[in-house]
Structure formats: C-alpha cells, structure tokens
Amino acid sequence: MGGVTAVSATGLVELNARYGLEMNLTSVQGLIERFDLRFPSELVR
C-alpha cells in the first residue's frame, strides 16, 4: 500500500473488504484534533 500517506481510495476499499471493516474517513480530521495526533512523518524533521 505504501504507508498511510500513500494509500489509494481503492486500497482502502480492498482493506475494508478483506478484513470486514467500515471506515468513516470524514471523521479522521476531528479525531486527529480531538486526540492531538501526529503522523510519524510530522515527528521527524
């Protein structure tokens, strides 16, 4: 897949199907802000 910053929409659909997942991508920004999350690429500079 190439990591979190490189995964395609098709790749996410395939992961959902393979593992029986449901993802609400519209909630991601709110979760990042709510829990003060950072991607690893943001930590290493």
Q: What is the pLDDT of residues 1-40, one digit of tens each?
A: 566 677 888 988 898 999 999 988 889 889 999 999 887 7
pTM: 0.52
Nearest-Å Rg of the Cα atoms of the chain is 12
Token output for 14: 């395939």
The domain limits of the chain are 9-43
Amino acid sitting at position 28: V
DSSP secondary structure code for residue 44 in this structure: -
Question: Is the pLDDT higher at 13 or at 41?
Answer: 13
- Helix locations, 1-45, DSSP H: 9-19, 28-34, 40-43
